[in-house]
Chain A
Amino acid sequence: MADVLWLIPALPLAGFVLLMAFGRRLGDPLAGVVGTLTVAGSFVVSLFALFDLNSLPTDERVVQQTLFTWIPAGGFSVDIGFLSDPLTITMCLFITGIAALIHLYSIGYMAGDENYSKFFVYLNLFVASMLLLVLGDNLLLTFLGWEGVGACSYLLISFWFTDEANASAGKKAFVTNRIGDFGFMVGTFLVWMTLGSINYLEINERVHGGIAAGTATAIVLLFFLAATGKSAQLPLFVWLPDAMAGPTPVSALIHAATMVTSGIFLLTRLNPLLEEAGWANDVIAWVGLATALVAALAAVAQNDIKKVLAYSTISQLGYMFLAVGSGAFVAGVFHMITHAFFKALLFLGSGAVIAAMAHEQDMRRYGNLRKYLPITTVTFVVGWLAISGVPPFAGFWSKDEVLAAAWDNGPAGPVMWAIGVVIALLTAFYMTRLVAMTFFGGKERWREPEELPTDPAEAAAAEHEAYEDAPDAHGHHLTPEHTPREPNWTMTVPLVVLGVFATVIGLINLPFGEKVDYLADWLDPTLAHAHEALSAGILAVLAAVAIVVAVVGIAVAWRVYAQHKGSPEKIELPAFEHALYIDDTYAAVVGGPGEAAFDGVATFDSEVVDGAVNGVGRLTQLTGRAVSVFQSGFVRAYALAVAGGAVVLLVFVVMRMSSS
């Protein structure tokens, strides 16, 4: 079975080629059906790969399949080869599973879009690249996938590119990620120089004792830089909130469930290297924690439903880095899986709401939607409880494990844990705020638009839009008479399926002893060493605190946003709305001194560099013009010159001879 491993990425790739060639002719909805089926096929193959791997003895669960040599260059050679081990297959399963559901959802969500087939072209290419990223058996192949998912991400963020904001959001993602990719490349070079291979199995084999601690630290920090770009961590997280300009299924698939987790995957893949990397691990943990905190604060004050979820994603990714930096790779991967399910569910749910509300994304115009959207409401509530950490939903188990790992992380552990708990409180709060504002609260606020607090900047923007006379890319505007309707089955089925998984997926790794932590057992061969388990007593206390915190967060938000007691303005500080002004600072720095510096560089280029080049040209011209005087065209003058020259030579020779 291992020899059909290549089918996993090949199927979506085939779908991409097929849709590229015939997509327009297949049209709506056939193009979507083709896209969905190829990804679903890939999921089935992944399932077979899982059973195949499971039938092997525990310590032999590493299957490599080399297709051909990709780059032979002297002593350096890279294969196109796939690596199947518990970590990859786990990734493949949830990537293809969620991707198939989101494809199905997109059939309904994108219906009627003029670039319907193009959407599935990009989406299939994305899935193929993502699978290449996780299945590749060497760093370069992973990098190929890494860039592939990046390219699809930019294309899909600016999918509705006629709106300039969407196009520049894509550009922003592109530029920000470039900084991270630089880290990936330099890290790969360093690995090759020190270990002589970029194949994962060889790297992980040679790392122990084969690398100086300083080098390992440098490599890990470089790869972490790559991860901060792709997985939206401080200081490079600023592109993800803007990436919400893309269609909602894209936000669910790429910017919540799969692509943004590739940074965690990369570090987990290289976990033996992290073992050697000393303080780089603390950097990872603290950066993850800081990101989680900043993003959670920002999520509290967003009014765009997708922006809340975007900051929430950044915050949850921070948790995963906290786990990875604490050496608890199982907890990181576990949270990655549960997060993929409940965040995809939440995004798809928000997409259903947005579609039902004539593409209005401002939560201040929602309210009481449970009356109109029963299925969406129920599934969304499941996702909400899961992310807030209410047992027995999935998020509780994984978040609990991350927090326990933080507690256990050396002397600073309890501090990290405490900050993590604060983040959990904020998470419960902002998610409850979202749910209450959208589905509950009694008021149907789009019916009284004058209730909208007017923000001068937004009013100006709205006026600008009206002036541009651009009919909203999607055609409609929310009117007070609007009646939201539940979307069709292609959109509700994925919601229900994801809702079920968001409820039960936590069962794959329960903290009740050796027998039931299946995921830890399963991933064990991939990881350098297993994390020491805390005593059951401490675990129980930590879990109890987490539950109390979740309930408090939910209760406070419920009181403010569903029962309208207390004033939201005290909580939604402007600093939070602007994510502590980090993005604005970047904009100010790059736009002010940055631009001046770039102008200086440009001047240097046009004056000094170009000046040198042009100067050489001008010098040659002048010399030529000066010397061309001698080319008089008079043959006799030439003859005279030759004769004169001959005489001079003769005199010279004769004098030399006579003097010697």
Chain B
Amino acid sequence: MLAQVEVSLTPTWYLVLAAMIFAIGAVGLLIRRNPLVMFMCVELMLNAVTLTFVSFSRALDDVGGQVFVFFVLVVAAAEVVVGLALVVAIMRRRQGADADDLSLMRG
């Protein structure tokens, strides 16, 4: 008889998942050069943080964390608008430009 392994989804699992997503996002941001991909990586990191908020909210039974998530979503939506517009503008000006080409503002 197979030992029944009781697997309960404790908040730790969620936190580990969030950490992994965050790490994927961070590494992607650092190693990829395509502005669009980098942008998506930032979104990934953002969502990892959101997930952390929700997990703690549930674990600590505090609704405050979930309220925060709504704010993050609203800001993220606005940020996406600006960010995508920037990406489109960059691509129009310089076809196929990567992030390292965009260094005109150096000191």
Q: Are A and B physically bound partners?
A: yes
Residues of A whose CB lies within 8 Å of any CB of B are: 627-636, 639-640, 643
- Tell me if B44 counts as interface (CB < 8 A to partner A): no
- Tell me if B103 counts as interface (CB < 8 A to partner A): yes
Binds A, one of B26-34, B59-67, B68-76: B26-34
Q: Among the listed A627, A630, A634, which residue makes an inter-chain contact with B99, where contact means beta carbons less than 8 Å apart?
A: A634
User: Which partner residue on chain A sits nearest B102 by CB separation?
Assistant: A635
Q: Could you give, for residues 88-107 of chain B, a 1 whenever the CB lies within 8 Å of some chain A CB and a 0 otherwise?
A: 00000000000110111111
B29 CB contacts on chain A under 8 angstroms = 636, 639
Interface pair B30/A632, CB less than 8 Å apart: no
- Tell me if B38 counts as interface (CB < 8 A to partner A): yes
Knowing A635-B99, A636-B100 touch, does A643 contact B30 (C-beta < 8 A)?
yes
Interface pair B107/A631, CB less than 8 Å apart: yes
A635 CB contacts on chain B under 8 angstroms = 38, 99, 102
A633 CB contacts on chain B under 8 angstroms = 102-107
User: Which partner residue on chain B sits nearest A643 by CB separation?
Assistant: B26
With both chains docked as a complex, state the minimum distance between the C-beta of B22 and any C-beta of chain A, in angstroms: 11
Complex CA–CA separation, A636 to B38 (angstroms): 9
Interface pair B106/A632, CB less than 8 Å apart: yes
Complex CA–CA separation, A243 to B104 (angstroms): 70
A627 CB contacts on chain B under 8 angstroms = 107
A634 CB contacts on chain B under 8 angstroms = 99-100, 103, 106
User: Which partner residue on chain B sits nearest A630 by CB separation?
Assistant: B107
A629 CB contacts on chain B under 8 angstroms = 107
B103 CB contacts on chain A under 8 angstroms = 632-634
* Contacts beyond the supplied A631-B106, A634-B99, A635-B102: 6 A-B pairs with Cβ under 8 Å: A629-B107, A632-B107, A633-B103, A633-B107, A635-B38, A636-B33
Complex CA–CA separation, A627 to B26 (angstroms): 26
B38 CB contacts on chain A under 8 angstroms = 635-636
User: Which partner residue on chain B sits nearest A646 by CB separation?
Assistant: B26
Instruction: List 4 tightest A-B contacts by C-beta distance, closest first.
Output: A633-B103, A628-B107, A633-B106, A631-B107
B107 CB contacts on chain A under 8 angstroms = 627-633
- List residues of B (17-73) whose CB comes within 8 Å of A's CBs: 26, 29-30, 33, 38
B26, B102, B103, B107, most chain A CB atoms within 10 A: B107
With both chains docked as a complex, state the minimum distance between the C-beta of A636 and any C-beta of chain B, in angstroms: 6
A631 CB contacts on chain B under 8 angstroms = 105-107
With both chains docked as a complex, state the minimum distance between the C-beta of A650 and any C-beta of chain B, in angstroms: 12
With both chains docked as a complex, state the minimum distance between the C-beta of B13 and any C-beta of chain A, in angstroms: 22
Complex CA–CA separation, A632 to B102 (angstroms): 11
Interface pair B105/A636, CB less than 8 Å apart: no
User: Which partner residue on chain A sits nearest B41 by CB separation?
Assistant: A639
With both chains docked as a complex, state the minimum distance between the C-beta of B100 and any C-beta of chain A, in angstroms: 6
With both chains docked as a complex, state the minimum distance between the C-beta of B54 and any C-beta of chain A, in angstroms: 22
With both chains docked as a complex, state the minimum distance between the C-beta of A197 and any C-beta of chain B, in angstroms: 63
Interface pair B30/A640, CB less than 8 Å apart: yes
Complex CA–CA separation, A628 to B107 (angstroms): 5
User: Which partner residue on chain A sits nearest B26 by CB separation?
Assistant: A643
User: Which partner residue on chain B sits nearest A625 by CB separation?
Assistant: B107
Complex CA–CA separation, A254 to B1 (angstroms): 130
With both chains docked as a complex, state the minimum distance between the C-beta of A637 and any C-beta of chain B, in angstroms: 9
| 26 residue pairs bridging A and B, Cβ less than 8 Å apart | A627-B107, A629-B107, A631-B106, A632-B103, A632-B106, A632-B107, A633-B102, A633-B103, A633-B106, A633-B107, A634-B99, A634-B100, A634-B103, A634-B106, A635-B38, A635-B99, A635-B102, A636-B29, A636-B30, A636-B33, A636-B38, A636-B100, A639-B29, A640-B30, A643-B26, A643-B30
User: Which partner residue on chain A sits nearest B35 by CB separation?
Assistant: A635
Complex CA–CA separation, A631 to B104 (angstroms): 10
With both chains docked as a complex, state the minimum distance between the C-beta of A570 and any C-beta of chain B, in angstroms: 86
Complex CA–CA separation, A643 to B23 (angstroms): 11
B105 CB contacts on chain A under 8 angstroms = 631, 633
A636 CB contacts on chain B under 8 angstroms = 29-30, 33, 38, 99-100
With both chains docked as a complex, state the minimum distance between the C-beta of A645 and any C-beta of chain B, in angstroms: 13
With both chains docked as a complex, state the minimum distance between the C-beta of B73 and any C-beta of chain A, in angstroms: 23
A640 CB contacts on chain B under 8 angstroms = 30
B100 CB contacts on chain A under 8 angstroms = 634, 636
With both chains docked as a complex, state the minimum distance between the C-beta of A619 and any C-beta of chain B, in angstroms: 18
Complex CA–CA separation, A643 to B29 (angstroms): 10
B38, B99, B106, most chain A CB atoms within 10 A: B106
Complex CA–CA separation, A628 to B29 (angstroms): 24
A632 CB contacts on chain B under 8 angstroms = 103, 106-107
With both chains docked as a complex, state the minimum distance between the C-beta of B65 and any C-beta of chain A, in angstroms: 20
Complex CA–CA separation, A630 to B103 (angstroms): 12
With both chains docked as a complex, state the minimum distance between the C-beta of B29 and any C-beta of chain A, in angstroms: 5
With both chains docked as a complex, state the minimum distance between the C-beta of A143 and any C-beta of chain B, in angstroms: 57
Complex CA–CA separation, A250 to B99 (angstroms): 83
Complex CA–CA separation, A635 to B101 (angstroms): 10
With both chains docked as a complex, state the minimum distance between the C-beta of A306 and any C-beta of chain B, in angstroms: 72
A630 CB contacts on chain B under 8 angstroms = 107
Complex CA–CA separation, A643 to B30 (angstroms): 9
B33 CB contacts on chain A under 8 angstroms = 636
With both chains docked as a complex, state the minimum distance between the C-beta of B27 and any C-beta of chain A, in angstroms: 9
Complex CA–CA separation, A627 to B106 (angstroms): 12
Interface pair A639/B106, CB less than 8 Å apart: no
Complex CA–CA separation, A465 to B77 (angstroms): 89
With both chains docked as a complex, state the minimum distance between the C-beta of A623 and any C-beta of chain B, in angstroms: 12
Complex CA–CA separation, A629 to B105 (angstroms): 12
With both chains docked as a complex, state the minimum distance between the C-beta of B28 and any C-beta of chain A, in angstroms: 10
B30 CB contacts on chain A under 8 angstroms = 636, 639-640, 643
User: Which partner residue on chain A sits nearest B106 by CB separation?
Assistant: A633
B99 CB contacts on chain A under 8 angstroms = 634-636
With both chains docked as a complex, state the minimum distance between the C-beta of A651 and any C-beta of chain B, in angstroms: 16
User: Which partner residue on chain A sits nearest B31 by CB separation?
Assistant: A636
